[in-house]
Structure 1
Amino acid sequence: MFDRTLSVLVGAATNHWISMADSAVPILSIDISQTEFMQTVAFVHAQQVRCAALMRETSHLEIVYEDDLRQSESWQPLLDRICAFLEIPPSLAVSPVHQTWRRPYREFVSNYAELVEAFQQSHFVDTSER
């Protein structure tokens, strides 16, 4: 949940949501308001709860970016799982889209440690998978 929240806020602050293989990634330093961060954590948590309730009765395959898509080595096994789930022939996993930020958030979110501390002190840390 921490990483998802940072992703939302960094994307909104920079208007940089995806990177293609040949795109330049801006070098920057940003500061995220602790209040805005915690409000967004609450929103992300509420969306997770809502989605879980909607999917409870539906056959589905859960895919979590941080676990399933962050590393390109995991794409093929994931696509194999998806094809098997959908009962369709396997396909080759390729994408021109790359990880949006090639540097860890802690390197360019100037108050990263403050946000980590706020998250760890919140009740959301107990409901988070990350």
Structure 2
Amino acid sequence: MKYFEEAKYIWKNYVPKSGQADTVEGELIRAIERLRYEAQNNGNCNWDEGFELFCHYLWEVLNDEETFDHNVLREIKMDVDTLLNFDAPYLDDDVYDRISDHIIEWTFTHKGPIKREKDPKQYR
């Protein structure tokens, strides 16, 4: 992971102990780490709509042509699709780390923190 310290900063400063983050950056990091934990520690046995919402949120925000070129967007989409395949939990760190790095690259472009409205459907 190229941007471990930057991701750690967002985790410590923008991800609450429970519930959704108030910033886009915080929610992105919260989403990828919740997905990582669910796959690696639980084998996706708790997978439900909340985890799908995390995947869709990651793609919705990171699908950003201002920040990423076509090849990177294709890679992000493939990585998110890998995580959406809950029947085959992805256990290695590479996909999670790569998405985390793209989150940090997105934050470099958008120079936040950026406030967000909480999703009433997201209970995870």
State the TM-score, normalizing by the size of structure 1: 0.28
Higher normalized helix content (fraction of residues): 2
Q: Which has the larger radius of gyration?
A: 1
